[in-house]
Amino acid sequence: PAADLHSPMVLLNDLPKKNWLNVQLIGAPGHRAAANSIIRLSDPQTGKLLGDEQISIWGNQSAHSYYYAANTERHFGLASSDAVDVRVEFYPTGKKVEQKRVKANQTIVVNE
Question: Is residue 60 within 8 Å of residue 2, measured between CB atoms?
Answer: no
For position 109, what pLDDT does the model report?
96
Would you state the pLDDT for residue 78?
94
The answer for residues whose C-beta is within 8 angstroms of residue 57's C-beta and 6 or more apart is: 33, 35, 70
pLDDT at 59: 55
pLDDT value, residue 33? 83
- pLDDT, position 102: 98
Q: Would strands 38-42 and 83-89 be described as parallel, antiparallel, or unpaired? A: antiparallel
Contact criterion met (CB below 8 Å) for 25 and 88: yes
From the first residue on, what is the mean pLDDT of each consecutive set of 10 residues in the chain (112 residues)? 72 87 92 90 95 78 54 88 97 95 97 94
* Nearest of 87, 74, 4 to residue 33 by alpha carbon: 74
